[in-house]
Structure 1
Amino acid sequence: MATATTHGARDHARAQHGTRNGAMPVVPASDWPDSAPGTPVWAETVAGGNYTHRVLARGTELRLTDLAGDACAHLLLYAEGRPWERLNTADTVKVQWNAYLGAGRLLLSDQGRVLASVTADSSGRHDALCGTSTLRRNTERYGDGTPQSASPAGRELLKLAASKNGLEPRDLPPSLSFFQGVRIREDGTTEFTGSAGPGAAATLRAEQDLTVLIANVPHPLDPRPAYTSTPLEVLAWRARPTSPGDALWDATPEGRRAFLNTVDFLTARGLA
């Protein structure tokens, strides 16, 4: 179909209606062909070297899936409407006495409150220590790290996602990453452990209204010379926040205190 004229371009564009490719959002999310435990509110496949973002309501569950075994979801979380309360990787590690993410871990802000909890994990290959890739590092490794290049850096993509939510580069703290693992050796050095393989998934539960930013790019410690990043599936559905009586609420004294801090804060504002 010719696209040299405005009419031709319009007809070509309209001819794409209803077509789905390997990486795109599904609108409405309820049309997602995969099964979900609740009503889907976000359904998208994020290509390697791309990003996404969404505002999610408290109680929403978010499942990330590494479809082909080489996705790496670099994640940032912000309390919606209060962007100064954001994911703090240092407190997430320090308060829980554990540097490794997995089911039962809480993702904390620097206010001692829970932003999200990890309710399920079949991967075990995540990282709370290294953050994401930068323009300078990707330019040195791959020849380019700009967002429009074939090897975009994670921080550059997160800047774009942030800007679409009223956030600036200074609002970007260190991120967490899912599906490419890092361990600390006895001598204190880092060891890249790679992927758990295709189909690995992690499910997060929003414990506050959240702004979610995700960049799907190679982990900065990935030793492979080629820029390797495969699709990430993102699916979210309506559910309920963690409440007293849930095993996760009382799993640790530190976690219980963080949940109490969260509910106390939200209750005072009529949000819980």
Structure 2
Amino acid sequence: MHIRRSPEEIAANRARYEEHQKKGLEFAPKALPAKSAKPAPPIDADTIVHQEKLPGGWYWWTRVKANETLRIALDEGFSTVSVVAWNAEDPTERMNLPDTVKVQWTTGLGKGRVIFSDMGKVMFSITEDSSGAHDVLMGGSTAASNARKYAGQNGPALRNTRDNFVLIATKSGLDKRDIPAALALFAPVRVDADGKFEWKPDLVEDGDYVDLRAEMDMIVGFSNCPHPLDLNPVYAPNPVSIIRIAAIEPAVDDLCRTATAEAIRGFENNAFAAL
């Protein structure tokens, strides 16, 4: 149904947009830090809520609370880990990568960046990241992409990200239509001068890790399947470590919360929704 808006409403919307634009242009973004150092800093055993070893090809999902951190680490060799998330209180709100890219003016996610929901709120802050090589454009594997890529290989190991996320959604009381575009961690995808996707394996190393701090209570799903562009012709993803770390209240000057005007507005939306 087409909604006709009055000239007054259109003018008010334009004025609000121009005010946001002005604030953004006046805000001096903080310089983002370099990649996190390796090895990953140790985690106090008393702060570990849960520890999961995700086998190659498989999936796992969990509920996390606001200010808890999920550490995803390549302790046993290279793998790509795809991630989706929903607001635990209202699963109609979900991770939105197009908005994450659009709002922050970059496809390069790394330490200091945030990941937005489709309601303009912040779902994750990337508090540590030794890699910076993550894919927000292509998504994960499907049964069809696996069939093309691994012709002649068979068996239960040839699981794919799409079907894994369908299982997670179903077990979470959701539908496959609720599955958002997936963030692929440790997926060194780059775009060349002609606009073609390239796989740059030298951008990811064994021992790389990412810390994602939850900015709301969430349902988070993981799939450990090879990325469609992965150059390895053999289906052989390695196990991945996922550690859920107890909540710690962020500092007032926390980098992720203050680095950009867009992040500040996102966290204002979080605070408003909590009222």
If the length of structure 2 is used for normalisation, what is the TM-score?
A: 0.80
| Aligned counterpart, 1:151 | 158
Task: Give the aligned CA root-mean-square deviation in angstroms.
Answer: 1.9
**Percent of pairs with identical residues:** 36
2: distance between equivalents of 1:91 and 1:149? 35
| Aligned counterpart, 1:16 | none
**Aligned-residue offset at 1:250:** 1.4
Aligned AA (1:255): A
Q: Which one scores higher on RCO, CA 8 angstroms, separation ≥ 6?
A: 2
**Aligned-residue offset at 1:187:** 1.8
| Aligned counterpart, 2:186 | 179
Residue in structure 1 matching 2:228, options 213, 216, 220: 220
| Long gaps (5+) in structure 1 | 1-33
1: distance between equivalents of 2:134 and 2:270? 25
| Aligned counterpart, 2:117 | 109
Q: 1:208 to 1:80 in 2, by over 3 A?
A: same
Residue in structure 2 matching 1:160, options 139, 160, 167: 167
Per-residue deviation, residues 33-68 of structure 1 (Å, max 9, x unmatched): x95246111201101101100000111011000123
Does residue 254 in structure 1 map to residue 265 in structure 2? no
| Long gaps (5+) in structure 2 | 1-40
**SS in structure 1 of the partner of residue 110 of structure 2:** coil
**SS in structure 2 of the partner of residue 230 of structure 1:** coil
Relative to its length, the structure with more strand (as a share) is 1
Q: How does 1:29-40 map to 2 (within 5 A)?
A: 35-37=42-44, 39-40=47-48
If the length of structure 1 is used for normalisation, what is the TM-score?
A: 0.81
Q: How does 1:1-272 map to 2 (within 5 A)?
A: 35-37=42-44, 39-143=47-151, 149-194=156-201, 196-242=204-250, 244-266=252-274, 268=275
Q: 1:244 to 1:35 in 2, by over 3 A?
A: closer
2: distance between equivalents of 1:241 and 1:207? 10
**Aligned-residue offset at 1:144:** 8.7
Q: 1:241 to 1:262 in 2, by over 3 A?
A: farther
| Aligned counterpart, 2:38 | none
Relative to its length, the structure with more helix (as a share) is 2
**SS in structure 2 of the partner of residue 92 of structure 1:** helix
2: distance between equivalents of 1:241 and 1:97? 28
Aligned AA (1:186): A
